[in-house]
Chain A
Amino acid sequence: MSALLSLSGLNRRFGGLAAVSDFSLALESGIVTALVGPNGAGKTTIFNLVTGNLRADSGQILLHDKPIIGLSPHRIARLGIARSFQDLRLFGHMSVLDNVRAATEPTSWFWQAGGAAARQQRRERVETALERTGLSGLTQARAIDLAYAERKFLSMARIIATGARIWLLDEPASGLDPRSRAQFVDLLRSATAEGVTVCLIEHNLDIVTEVADRIAFLDQGRKLAEGEPADIMQDKALAAIYFGDRT
Protein backbone atom coordinates (compact mmCIF):
# COMPACT_ATOMS: atom_id res chain seq x y z
CA MET A 1 0.00 0.00 0.00
CA SER A 2 1.41 3.39 -0.92
CA ALA A 3 1.41 6.19 1.59
CA LEU A 4 -1.23 8.90 1.65
CA LEU A 5 1.40 11.61 1.97
CA SER A 6 5.02 10.85 1.36
CA LEU A 7 8.01 13.10 1.82
CA SER A 8 11.28 11.97 0.34
CA GLY A 9 14.76 13.42 0.42
CA LEU A 10 13.65 16.87 1.55
CA ASN A 11 16.33 19.51 2.03
CA ARG A 12 16.00 23.06 3.17
CA ARG A 13 18.73 25.46 4.18
CA PHE A 14 18.52 28.91 5.75
CA GLY A 15 21.78 30.51 4.78
CA GLY A 16 24.44 28.31 6.27
CA LEU A 17 21.99 26.38 8.45
CA ALA A 18 20.70 23.05 7.20
CA ALA A 19 17.27 23.19 8.84
CA VAL A 20 16.07 19.99 7.13
CA SER A 21 18.44 17.44 5.60
CA ASP A 22 17.52 14.49 3.45
CA PHE A 23 14.27 13.97 5.33
CA SER A 24 11.87 11.24 4.32
CA LEU A 25 8.62 10.18 5.91
CA ALA A 26 5.49 8.34 4.87
CA LEU A 27 2.13 9.12 6.44
CA GLU A 28 -0.30 6.22 6.27
CA SER A 29 -4.02 6.66 6.35
CA GLY A 30 -5.55 6.76 9.84
CA ILE A 31 -2.14 6.66 11.52
CA VAL A 32 -0.75 9.15 14.05
CA THR A 33 2.90 9.91 13.42
CA ALA A 34 4.74 12.01 15.97
CA LEU A 35 7.70 14.22 15.07
CA VAL A 36 9.89 14.37 18.12
CA GLY A 37 13.14 16.21 18.63
CA PRO A 38 14.85 19.00 20.52
CA ASN A 39 14.18 22.71 19.87
CA GLY A 40 15.37 23.80 16.47
CA ALA A 41 15.42 20.26 15.11
CA GLY A 42 13.48 21.34 12.03
CA LYS A 43 10.03 20.01 12.87
CA THR A 44 8.06 23.15 12.08
CA THR A 45 10.15 23.68 8.97
CA ILE A 46 9.01 20.27 7.70
CA PHE A 47 5.38 21.33 8.14
CA ASN A 48 6.09 24.55 6.29
CA LEU A 49 7.60 22.58 3.41
CA VAL A 50 4.53 20.35 3.17
CA THR A 51 2.04 23.21 3.32
CA GLY A 52 3.89 25.31 0.76
CA ASN A 53 4.78 28.09 3.19
CA LEU A 54 8.41 27.26 2.46
CA ARG A 55 9.84 25.75 -0.68
CA ALA A 56 12.15 22.76 -0.42
CA ASP A 57 15.60 23.16 -1.98
CA SER A 58 15.28 19.60 -3.20
CA GLY A 59 13.23 16.50 -2.57
CA GLN A 60 9.71 15.38 -3.35
CA ILE A 61 6.35 15.55 -1.63
CA LEU A 62 3.58 13.33 -2.96
CA LEU A 63 -0.06 13.48 -1.94
CA HIS A 64 -2.01 10.51 -3.32
CA ASP A 65 1.07 9.93 -5.50
CA LYS A 66 0.87 13.40 -7.04
CA PRO A 67 3.62 15.98 -6.45
CA ILE A 68 2.52 19.05 -4.52
CA ILE A 69 5.81 20.93 -4.29
CA GLY A 70 5.44 24.36 -5.85
CA LEU A 71 1.70 24.68 -5.20
CA SER A 72 0.67 27.70 -3.14
CA PRO A 73 -0.45 27.15 0.46
CA HIS A 74 -4.14 27.69 -0.25
CA ARG A 75 -4.10 25.08 -3.01
CA ILE A 76 -2.41 22.55 -0.80
CA ALA A 77 -4.96 23.29 1.92
CA ARG A 78 -7.79 22.68 -0.53
CA LEU A 79 -6.30 19.28 -1.34
CA GLY A 80 -7.17 18.28 2.20
CA ILE A 81 -4.13 19.11 4.31
CA ALA A 82 -4.98 21.18 7.38
CA ARG A 83 -2.42 22.50 9.82
CA SER A 84 -2.21 24.19 13.16
CA PHE A 85 0.45 26.68 14.14
CA GLN A 86 2.78 26.66 17.09
CA ASP A 87 1.62 30.24 17.80
CA LEU A 88 -2.02 29.33 16.95
CA ARG A 89 -2.66 32.27 14.60
CA LEU A 90 -6.32 32.62 15.46
CA PHE A 91 -8.41 35.35 13.90
CA GLY A 92 -8.20 37.40 17.05
CA HIS A 93 -10.90 39.99 16.45
CA MET A 94 -13.42 37.54 15.13
CA SER A 95 -15.81 35.51 17.23
CA VAL A 96 -15.22 31.84 17.96
CA LEU A 97 -18.10 31.02 15.65
CA ASP A 98 -16.67 33.10 12.79
CA ASN A 99 -13.21 31.61 13.27
CA VAL A 100 -14.70 28.18 12.72
CA ARG A 101 -17.07 29.24 9.94
CA ALA A 102 -14.14 30.81 8.09
CA ALA A 103 -12.54 27.37 8.01
CA THR A 104 -15.44 26.02 5.96
CA GLU A 105 -15.43 28.72 3.27
CA PRO A 106 -12.51 28.43 0.87
CA THR A 107 -14.20 29.91 -2.23
CA SER A 108 -12.58 33.21 -3.18
CA TRP A 109 -15.65 35.05 -4.31
CA PHE A 110 -18.35 37.26 -2.84
CA TRP A 111 -20.29 34.18 -1.82
CA GLN A 112 -19.69 30.44 -1.52
CA ALA A 113 -20.58 27.96 -4.23
CA GLY A 114 -23.07 25.15 -3.74
CA GLY A 115 -26.27 26.86 -2.60
CA ALA A 116 -28.46 25.80 0.28
CA ALA A 117 -27.32 22.17 0.47
CA ALA A 118 -23.68 23.18 0.77
CA ARG A 119 -24.61 25.84 3.32
CA GLN A 120 -26.36 23.25 5.45
CA GLN A 121 -23.34 20.98 5.18
CA ARG A 122 -21.01 23.79 6.29
CA ARG A 123 -23.26 24.57 9.22
CA GLU A 124 -23.14 20.96 10.35
CA ARG A 125 -19.36 20.87 10.11
CA VAL A 126 -19.16 24.02 12.21
CA GLU A 127 -21.45 22.53 14.83
CA THR A 128 -19.50 19.29 14.98
CA ALA A 129 -16.22 21.16 15.31
CA LEU A 130 -17.56 23.31 18.13
CA GLU A 131 -19.05 20.34 19.96
CA ARG A 132 -15.95 18.19 19.76
CA THR A 133 -13.77 20.98 21.08
CA GLY A 134 -16.18 21.96 23.83
CA LEU A 135 -16.57 25.48 22.50
CA SER A 136 -20.32 25.38 21.82
CA GLY A 137 -20.97 27.68 24.78
CA LEU A 138 -18.48 30.32 23.69
CA THR A 139 -19.50 30.97 20.12
CA GLN A 140 -19.83 34.75 20.50
CA ALA A 141 -16.60 35.34 22.42
CA ARG A 142 -13.75 36.94 20.51
CA ALA A 143 -10.75 34.71 19.99
CA ILE A 144 -8.40 37.10 21.81
CA ASP A 145 -10.64 37.00 24.87
CA LEU A 146 -10.39 33.23 25.26
CA ALA A 147 -8.39 31.43 27.92
CA TYR A 148 -5.24 29.59 26.87
CA ALA A 149 -6.75 26.11 26.60
CA GLU A 150 -9.81 27.46 24.79
CA ARG A 151 -7.56 29.05 22.21
CA LYS A 152 -5.79 25.79 21.61
CA PHE A 153 -9.13 24.07 21.12
CA LEU A 154 -10.31 26.80 18.78
CA SER A 155 -7.30 26.16 16.61
CA MET A 156 -8.32 22.48 16.59
CA ALA A 157 -11.94 23.39 15.84
CA ARG A 158 -10.83 25.25 12.72
CA ILE A 159 -8.98 22.17 11.54
CA ILE A 160 -11.92 19.87 12.18
CA ALA A 161 -14.22 22.25 10.31
CA THR A 162 -12.09 22.21 7.18
CA GLY A 163 -13.03 18.59 6.71
CA ALA A 164 -9.40 17.83 5.79
CA ARG A 165 -8.30 14.21 6.05
CA ILE A 166 -4.67 15.03 6.87
CA TRP A 167 -3.85 17.07 9.95
CA LEU A 168 -0.47 18.57 10.69
CA LEU A 169 -0.51 19.64 14.33
CA ASP A 170 2.31 21.79 15.70
CA GLU A 171 2.49 21.33 19.48
CA PRO A 172 -1.31 21.31 19.91
CA ALA A 173 -1.18 20.12 23.52
CA SER A 174 1.72 22.14 24.89
CA GLY A 175 0.85 23.92 28.11
CA LEU A 176 -2.51 22.22 28.54
CA ASP A 177 -3.68 21.24 32.02
CA PRO A 178 -4.26 17.50 32.58
CA ARG A 179 -8.00 17.71 32.01
CA SER A 180 -7.71 19.59 28.73
CA ARG A 181 -4.94 17.26 27.71
CA ALA A 182 -7.20 14.26 28.21
CA GLN A 183 -9.87 16.05 26.20
CA PHE A 184 -7.35 16.64 23.45
CA VAL A 185 -6.33 12.97 23.39
CA ASP A 186 -9.99 11.95 23.08
CA LEU A 187 -10.44 14.40 20.25
CA LEU A 188 -7.48 12.98 18.39
CA ARG A 189 -8.62 9.41 18.97
CA SER A 190 -12.09 10.01 17.60
CA ALA A 191 -10.61 11.71 14.55
CA THR A 192 -8.24 8.87 13.76
CA ALA A 193 -11.04 6.40 14.35
CA GLU A 194 -12.75 8.12 11.42
CA GLY A 195 -9.66 7.66 9.30
CA VAL A 196 -8.00 11.06 9.70
CA THR A 197 -4.24 10.93 9.22
CA VAL A 198 -2.27 12.92 11.76
CA CYS A 199 1.27 14.18 11.95
CA LEU A 200 1.93 15.60 15.37
CA ILE A 201 4.78 17.67 16.72
CA GLU A 202 4.88 17.21 20.45
CA HIS A 203 7.43 17.72 23.21
CA ASN A 204 5.44 15.95 25.89
CA LEU A 205 6.49 12.31 25.60
CA ASP A 206 3.55 11.10 27.69
CA ILE A 207 1.15 12.37 25.08
CA VAL A 208 3.31 10.95 22.34
CA THR A 209 3.26 7.48 23.88
CA GLU A 210 -0.44 7.78 24.43
CA VAL A 211 -1.52 8.72 20.92
CA ALA A 212 1.27 8.02 18.45
CA ASP A 213 1.39 4.90 16.32
CA ARG A 214 4.79 5.85 14.96
CA ILE A 215 7.55 8.21 15.99
CA ALA A 216 10.11 9.94 13.82
CA PHE A 217 13.00 11.33 15.81
CA LEU A 218 14.72 14.43 14.48
CA ASP A 219 17.87 16.24 15.41
CA GLN A 220 19.53 19.09 13.54
CA GLY A 221 17.35 18.56 10.51
CA ARG A 222 18.05 14.84 10.20
CA LYS A 223 15.84 11.91 10.97
CA LEU A 224 17.83 9.78 13.40
CA ALA A 225 15.26 7.08 13.92
CA GLU A 226 11.74 6.05 13.08
CA GLY A 227 9.62 3.28 14.49
CA GLU A 228 7.09 2.11 17.04
CA PRO A 229 6.88 4.30 20.15
CA ALA A 230 8.09 1.50 22.44
CA ASP A 231 11.29 1.04 20.47
CA ILE A 232 12.09 4.71 20.09
CA MET A 233 11.38 5.47 23.73
CA GLN A 234 13.81 2.81 24.88
CA ASP A 235 16.65 4.06 22.74
CA LYS A 236 19.18 5.48 25.19
CA ALA A 237 21.15 7.37 22.55
CA LEU A 238 18.03 9.26 21.47
CA ALA A 239 17.07 9.98 25.05
CA ALA A 240 20.51 11.46 25.61
CA ILE A 241 20.05 13.80 22.63
CA TYR A 242 16.51 14.67 23.59
CA PHE A 243 17.15 15.38 27.25
CA GLY A 244 20.82 16.20 26.93
CA ASP A 245 20.54 19.92 26.38
CA ARG A 246 17.75 20.33 28.90
CA THR A 247 18.72 18.58 32.08
Chain B
Amino acid sequence: MIAYLVNLATLTTIFAVLATSLNILIGYGGIFSIAQAVFFGVGAYAAAQVALHVTPDLLVASAAGAGAAALLSICLALPALRVRDEYFVIASLGLQMLAVTVFTEATPITGGFGGLVGIPPASLLGLPLTDPNAMLAACLGFLVLVLVLTRVLMRGSFGRSLMAIRDNDTAAEALGKNVMVLKTLAVMLGCAYAGIGGALYSAQMQFINVESFTLDQSVLIMAMVIIGGTGTLIGPLVGTVLILLLPAALSFIPGIPPTEIGVVQQMIYGLVMTLLMIFRPGGLVTLRTRRQ
Protein backbone atom coordinates (compact mmCIF):
# COMPACT_ATOMS: atom_id res chain seq x y z
CA MET B 1 0.00 0.00 0.00
CA ILE B 2 2.77 2.45 0.96
CA ALA B 3 4.75 1.50 -2.13
CA TYR B 4 1.66 2.13 -4.21
CA LEU B 5 1.15 5.56 -2.68
CA VAL B 6 4.80 6.57 -3.10
CA ASN B 7 4.65 5.52 -6.74
CA LEU B 8 1.43 7.48 -7.23
CA ALA B 9 2.97 10.53 -5.57
CA THR B 10 6.05 10.31 -7.79
CA LEU B 11 3.94 10.05 -10.94
CA THR B 12 1.79 12.94 -9.77
CA THR B 13 4.93 15.01 -9.27
CA ILE B 14 6.15 14.15 -12.76
CA PHE B 15 2.81 15.06 -14.28
CA ALA B 16 2.81 18.30 -12.34
CA VAL B 17 6.02 19.17 -14.21
CA LEU B 18 4.24 18.29 -17.47
CA ALA B 19 1.18 20.35 -16.64
CA THR B 20 3.41 23.29 -15.70
CA SER B 21 5.20 22.87 -19.01
CA LEU B 22 1.98 23.11 -21.01
CA ASN B 23 0.82 25.99 -18.84
CA ILE B 24 3.73 28.07 -20.14
CA LEU B 25 2.35 27.63 -23.65
CA ILE B 26 -1.39 27.79 -23.02
CA GLY B 27 -1.69 29.83 -19.85
CA TYR B 28 1.01 32.44 -20.31
CA GLY B 29 1.62 32.36 -24.05
CA GLY B 30 -1.90 31.67 -25.29
CA ILE B 31 -0.39 29.06 -27.59
CA PHE B 32 -2.62 25.99 -27.82
CA SER B 33 -0.58 22.90 -28.45
CA ILE B 34 -1.82 19.35 -28.37
CA ALA B 35 1.61 17.87 -28.84
CA GLN B 36 2.98 18.11 -25.32
CA ALA B 37 3.30 14.31 -25.07
CA VAL B 38 5.69 14.44 -28.04
CA PHE B 39 8.15 16.55 -26.07
CA PHE B 40 7.53 14.42 -23.01
CA GLY B 41 8.46 11.43 -25.19
CA VAL B 42 11.51 13.00 -26.80
CA GLY B 43 12.79 13.92 -23.35
CA ALA B 44 12.13 10.42 -22.07
CA TYR B 45 13.88 8.69 -24.98
CA ALA B 46 16.85 11.06 -24.85
CA ALA B 47 17.21 10.61 -21.11
CA ALA B 48 16.83 6.83 -21.39
CA GLN B 49 19.58 6.69 -24.01
CA VAL B 50 21.83 8.75 -21.78
CA ALA B 51 21.05 6.51 -18.82
CA LEU B 52 21.63 3.37 -20.86
CA HIS B 53 24.86 4.42 -22.53
CA VAL B 54 26.42 7.34 -20.68
CA THR B 55 25.49 7.89 -17.05
CA PRO B 56 22.51 7.18 -14.82
CA ASP B 57 22.82 10.65 -13.32
CA LEU B 58 19.39 12.28 -13.28
CA LEU B 59 20.77 15.79 -13.76
CA VAL B 60 22.58 14.80 -16.94
CA ALA B 61 19.59 12.82 -18.18
CA SER B 62 17.26 15.75 -17.47
CA ALA B 63 19.55 18.17 -19.24
CA ALA B 64 19.62 15.83 -22.24
CA GLY B 65 15.84 15.46 -22.15
CA ALA B 66 15.27 19.20 -21.83
CA GLY B 67 17.77 19.97 -24.59
CA ALA B 68 16.37 17.43 -27.03
CA ALA B 69 12.79 18.57 -26.44
CA ALA B 70 13.67 22.27 -26.71
CA LEU B 71 15.57 21.65 -29.94
CA LEU B 72 12.69 19.76 -31.51
CA SER B 73 10.24 22.40 -30.36
CA ILE B 74 12.01 24.97 -32.55
CA CYS B 75 11.04 22.83 -35.52
CA LEU B 76 7.40 23.19 -34.51
CA ALA B 77 7.58 26.82 -33.42
CA LEU B 78 9.37 28.39 -36.36
CA PRO B 79 6.98 27.35 -39.11
CA ALA B 80 3.83 27.10 -37.03
CA LEU B 81 3.99 30.36 -35.08
CA ARG B 82 4.18 32.37 -38.28
CA VAL B 83 0.66 31.41 -39.16
CA ARG B 84 -2.52 32.22 -37.27
CA ASP B 85 -3.20 30.66 -33.88
CA GLU B 86 -5.75 28.16 -35.16
CA TYR B 87 -3.16 26.66 -37.47
CA PHE B 88 -0.77 26.10 -34.62
CA VAL B 89 -3.27 23.74 -33.05
CA ILE B 90 -3.53 21.84 -36.32
CA ALA B 91 0.24 21.84 -36.79
CA SER B 92 0.77 20.50 -33.29
CA LEU B 93 -1.82 17.79 -33.91
CA GLY B 94 0.05 16.85 -37.06
CA LEU B 95 3.32 16.70 -35.14
CA GLN B 96 1.68 14.52 -32.49
CA MET B 97 0.51 12.01 -35.08
CA LEU B 98 3.81 12.05 -36.94
CA ALA B 99 5.74 11.60 -33.71
CA VAL B 100 3.83 8.47 -32.69
CA THR B 101 4.80 6.91 -36.02
CA VAL B 102 8.42 7.95 -35.62
CA PHE B 103 8.53 6.69 -32.02
CA THR B 104 7.17 3.35 -33.23
CA GLU B 105 9.46 3.01 -36.23
CA ALA B 106 12.78 4.48 -35.07
CA THR B 107 13.70 1.22 -33.36
CA PRO B 108 17.44 1.96 -32.86
CA ILE B 109 16.62 5.00 -30.71
CA THR B 110 13.20 4.30 -29.27
CA GLY B 111 13.17 0.53 -29.21
CA GLY B 112 10.15 0.60 -31.51
CA PHE B 113 6.84 -0.60 -30.21
CA GLY B 114 8.54 -2.74 -27.56
CA GLY B 115 10.14 0.40 -26.14
CA LEU B 116 13.32 0.74 -24.15
CA VAL B 117 13.72 -1.71 -21.31
CA GLY B 118 16.24 -2.08 -18.53
CA ILE B 119 16.85 1.59 -17.99
CA PRO B 120 19.18 1.61 -14.99
CA PRO B 121 18.01 3.15 -11.71
CA ALA B 122 18.92 6.79 -11.57
CA SER B 123 21.40 8.48 -9.31
CA LEU B 124 21.82 12.09 -8.38
CA LEU B 125 25.27 13.58 -7.93
CA GLY B 126 26.58 10.12 -7.09
CA LEU B 127 23.78 9.24 -4.67
CA PRO B 128 21.71 6.26 -5.84
CA LEU B 129 17.97 6.79 -6.15
CA THR B 130 17.03 3.13 -5.93
CA ASP B 131 14.85 3.77 -2.90
CA PRO B 132 11.37 4.89 -4.13
CA ASN B 133 11.31 7.56 -1.41
CA ALA B 134 14.59 9.00 -2.63
CA MET B 135 13.23 9.04 -6.19
CA LEU B 136 10.09 10.82 -5.00
CA ALA B 137 12.23 13.39 -3.19
CA ALA B 138 14.34 13.93 -6.31
CA CYS B 139 11.24 14.42 -8.47
CA LEU B 140 9.80 16.86 -5.95
CA GLY B 141 13.11 18.71 -6.07
CA PHE B 142 12.88 19.01 -9.85
CA LEU B 143 9.26 20.17 -9.59
CA VAL B 144 10.23 22.86 -7.10
CA LEU B 145 13.06 24.01 -9.39
CA VAL B 146 10.67 24.19 -12.33
CA LEU B 147 8.09 26.09 -10.29
CA VAL B 148 10.63 28.57 -8.92
CA LEU B 149 12.05 29.24 -12.38
CA THR B 150 8.54 29.63 -13.77
CA ARG B 151 7.59 32.08 -11.06
CA VAL B 152 10.71 34.17 -11.53
CA LEU B 153 10.35 34.29 -15.31
CA MET B 154 6.60 34.86 -15.36
CA ARG B 155 6.75 37.63 -12.78
CA GLY B 156 9.48 39.30 -14.79
CA SER B 157 9.49 41.08 -18.09
CA PHE B 158 9.44 37.84 -20.07
CA GLY B 159 6.19 36.74 -18.46
CA ARG B 160 4.67 40.17 -18.93
CA SER B 161 5.62 40.18 -22.59
CA LEU B 162 4.14 36.72 -23.07
CA MET B 163 0.88 37.59 -21.35
CA ALA B 164 0.69 40.82 -23.31
CA ILE B 165 1.01 38.83 -26.52
CA ARG B 166 -1.61 36.40 -25.26
CA ASP B 167 -4.04 39.23 -24.50
CA ASN B 168 -3.37 41.23 -27.67
CA ASP B 169 -0.49 40.50 -30.00
CA THR B 170 -0.99 43.59 -32.20
CA ALA B 171 -0.77 45.89 -29.19
CA ALA B 172 2.28 44.00 -27.92
CA GLU B 173 3.98 44.50 -31.27
CA ALA B 174 3.11 48.18 -31.19
CA LEU B 175 5.04 48.38 -27.92
CA GLY B 176 8.12 46.96 -29.62
CA LYS B 177 7.77 43.30 -28.71
CA ASN B 178 9.07 40.75 -31.19
CA VAL B 179 6.14 38.37 -31.03
CA MET B 180 7.78 35.58 -33.03
CA VAL B 181 10.92 35.47 -30.90
CA LEU B 182 9.04 35.67 -27.61
CA LYS B 183 6.57 32.96 -28.57
CA THR B 184 9.38 30.73 -29.79
CA LEU B 185 11.21 31.19 -26.49
CA ALA B 186 8.01 30.32 -24.63
CA VAL B 187 7.54 27.16 -26.66
CA MET B 188 11.18 26.18 -26.09
CA LEU B 189 10.92 26.79 -22.36
CA GLY B 190 7.66 24.86 -22.02
CA CYS B 191 8.95 21.98 -24.10
CA ALA B 192 12.23 21.87 -22.17
CA TYR B 193 10.16 21.39 -19.01
CA ALA B 194 8.27 18.58 -20.75
CA GLY B 195 11.63 17.03 -21.61
CA ILE B 196 12.58 17.12 -17.93
CA GLY B 197 9.28 15.44 -17.16
CA GLY B 198 10.19 12.76 -19.69
CA ALA B 199 13.59 12.23 -18.11
CA LEU B 200 12.05 11.82 -14.65
CA TYR B 201 9.42 9.46 -16.08
CA SER B 202 11.95 7.19 -17.77
CA ALA B 203 14.03 7.07 -14.58
CA GLN B 204 10.96 6.27 -12.50
CA MET B 205 9.47 3.62 -14.79
CA GLN B 206 12.81 2.19 -16.02
CA PHE B 207 10.82 1.24 -19.09
CA ILE B 208 9.27 3.49 -21.70
CA ASN B 209 7.37 2.91 -24.90
CA VAL B 210 5.29 4.86 -27.36
CA GLU B 211 2.02 4.25 -25.51
CA SER B 212 2.92 6.91 -22.95
CA PHE B 213 3.45 9.55 -25.64
CA THR B 214 0.26 9.43 -27.66
CA LEU B 215 -2.46 11.95 -28.38
CA ASP B 216 -4.41 10.62 -25.38
CA GLN B 217 -1.55 11.66 -23.12
CA SER B 218 -1.41 15.13 -24.70
CA VAL B 219 -5.13 15.52 -24.12
CA LEU B 220 -4.76 14.36 -20.52
CA ILE B 221 -2.03 16.95 -19.88
CA MET B 222 -4.19 19.60 -21.47
CA ALA B 223 -7.11 18.59 -19.25
CA MET B 224 -4.91 19.03 -16.17
CA VAL B 225 -4.04 22.58 -17.19
CA ILE B 226 -7.51 23.62 -18.26
CA ILE B 227 -9.37 22.06 -15.35
CA GLY B 228 -6.84 23.33 -12.83
CA GLY B 229 -6.64 26.84 -14.20
CA THR B 230 -4.41 28.43 -16.82
CA GLY B 231 -1.93 31.19 -16.24
CA THR B 232 -1.39 30.56 -12.55
CA LEU B 233 1.34 28.61 -10.83
CA ILE B 234 -1.03 26.59 -8.67
CA GLY B 235 -3.78 25.82 -11.18
CA PRO B 236 -2.01 23.08 -13.14
CA LEU B 237 -0.87 21.45 -9.89
CA VAL B 238 -4.46 21.27 -8.66
CA GLY B 239 -5.53 19.91 -12.03
CA THR B 240 -2.82 17.27 -11.98
CA VAL B 241 -3.74 16.05 -8.53
CA LEU B 242 -7.44 15.94 -9.37
CA ILE B 243 -6.98 14.06 -12.60
CA LEU B 244 -4.46 11.54 -11.33
CA LEU B 245 -6.21 10.89 -8.05
CA LEU B 246 -9.65 10.57 -9.59
CA PRO B 247 -9.15 7.01 -10.88
CA ALA B 248 -7.55 6.03 -7.59
CA ALA B 249 -10.44 7.55 -5.66
CA LEU B 250 -13.04 5.94 -7.91
CA SER B 251 -11.60 2.51 -7.24
CA PHE B 252 -12.47 2.99 -3.56
CA ILE B 253 -16.12 3.76 -4.29
CA PRO B 254 -18.17 0.59 -3.88
CA GLY B 255 -20.62 -0.23 -6.62
CA ILE B 256 -18.47 0.76 -9.56
CA PRO B 257 -17.13 -2.41 -11.14
CA PRO B 258 -13.38 -2.09 -11.81
CA THR B 259 -13.91 -2.65 -15.51
CA GLU B 260 -16.17 0.40 -15.69
CA ILE B 261 -13.84 2.82 -13.91
CA GLY B 262 -12.31 4.01 -17.18
CA VAL B 263 -15.71 4.85 -18.60
CA VAL B 264 -16.90 6.67 -15.47
CA GLN B 265 -13.62 8.58 -15.40
CA GLN B 266 -13.99 9.73 -19.00
CA MET B 267 -17.53 10.88 -18.30
CA ILE B 268 -16.41 12.85 -15.25
CA TYR B 269 -13.53 14.55 -17.12
CA GLY B 270 -15.82 15.44 -19.99
CA LEU B 271 -18.53 16.77 -17.73
CA VAL B 272 -16.10 18.77 -15.60
CA MET B 273 -14.43 20.32 -18.65
CA THR B 274 -17.78 21.29 -20.16
CA LEU B 275 -19.10 22.76 -16.92
CA LEU B 276 -15.85 24.63 -16.35
CA MET B 277 -15.88 26.17 -19.81
CA ILE B 278 -19.41 27.41 -19.11
CA PHE B 279 -19.11 28.58 -15.51
CA ARG B 280 -15.43 29.12 -14.89
CA PRO B 281 -13.55 29.44 -18.17
CA GLY B 282 -10.33 30.29 -16.38
CA GLY B 283 -10.24 26.90 -14.60
CA LEU B 284 -10.67 26.08 -10.93
CA VAL B 285 -7.87 28.32 -9.77
CA THR B 286 -8.21 31.80 -11.22
CA LEU B 287 -6.59 35.07 -10.40
CA ARG B 288 -8.49 37.15 -7.93
CA THR B 289 -9.88 40.35 -9.31
CA ARG B 290 -8.41 43.11 -7.26
CA ARG B 291 -9.71 46.59 -7.34
CA GLN B 292 -8.61 49.06 -4.74
Which residues on A are within 8 Å of B, measured CB to CB? 51, 53, 72-74, 77-78, 82-83, 85, 89-95, 98-99, 101-103, 105-112, 137-142, 145, 158, 162
Contact = CB atoms under 8 A, between A and B. Distances in A.
Contact of A110 (B167, B177, B185, B291): B185
Interface stretch (B74-82, B156-164, B195-203): B156-164
A91 B176 contact: no
B292 A140 contact: yes
Contact of B172 (A95, A102, A107, A142): A102
B168 interface: yes
Interface in B164-179: 164, 166-168, 170-179
Contacts of A101: 157, 160
A190 to B, nearest CB: 21
- Give the one of A53, A77, A110, A162 with max B CB within 10 A: A110
- Give the one of A91, A137, A141, A162 with max B CB within 10 A: A91
- Give the one of A53, A83, A90, A103 with max B CB within 10 A: A103
B181 interface: yes
A102 B164 contact: yes
B290 interface: yes
B164 A94 contact: yes
Main secondary structure of the interface of B (DSSP, over half): helix
B178 A108 contact: yes
- Give the one of A90, A108, A158 with max B CB within 10 A: A108
B175 A77 contact: yes
Contacts of A142: 287, 289-291
Contact of B163 (A51, A98, A108, A139): A98
A141 B161 contact: no
B292 A141 contact: yes
Interface residues of B, number: 30
A72 B181 CA distance: 13
B291 A140 contact: yes
A106 B175 contact: yes
B182 interface: yes
A90 B177 contact: no
Contacts of A72: 173
B231 interface: yes
Nearest to A105: B157
A137 B163 CA distance: 23
Contacts, number: 108
A158 B164 CA distance: 12
B292 A138 contact: yes
Contacts of A83: 174
Given A53-B170, A141-B292, A94 B175 contact: no
B212 to A, nearest CB: 30
Contact of B231 (A85, A93, A141, A145): A93
A56 to B, nearest CB: 18
B256 interface: no
A123 to B, nearest CB: 12
B167 A94 contact: yes
A90 B174 contact: no
B153 interface: yes
A162 B176 contact: yes
A105 B290 contact: no
Contacts of B161: 102, 105, 108
Contacts of A109: 158, 185
A78 B173 CA distance: 10
A89 B156 contact: no
A139 B292 CA distance: 8
A78 B175 CA distance: 8
A138 B291 CA distance: 7
Interface in B139-160: 153, 156-158, 160
A224 to B, nearest CB: 29
Nearest to A73: B173
A106 B160 contact: no
29 contacts: A53-B170, A53-B173, A73-B170, A73-B173, A74-B174, A77-B175, A78-B176, A85-B174, A90-B167, A92-B168, A93-B163, A93-B166, A94-B163, A98-B163, A101-B157, A102-B160, A102-B172, A102-B177, A105-B157, A105-B177, A108-B181, A110-B153, A110-B158, A141-B290, A141-B291, A142-B291, A145-B289, A145-B291, A158-B171
Nearest to B178: A108
Contact of A108 (B171, B177, B287): B177
B168 A91 contact: yes
Contacts of B175: 77, 82, 102-103, 106, 158, 162
Given A82-B174, A90-B167, A91-B171, 18 more contacts: A73-B173, A74-B174, A74-B177, A89-B171, A92-B168, A94-B164, A102-B172, A102-B175, A102-B177, A105-B157, A106-B177, A107-B157, A108-B185, A109-B158, A110-B156, A138-B292, A139-B292, A162-B176
A111 B157 contact: yes
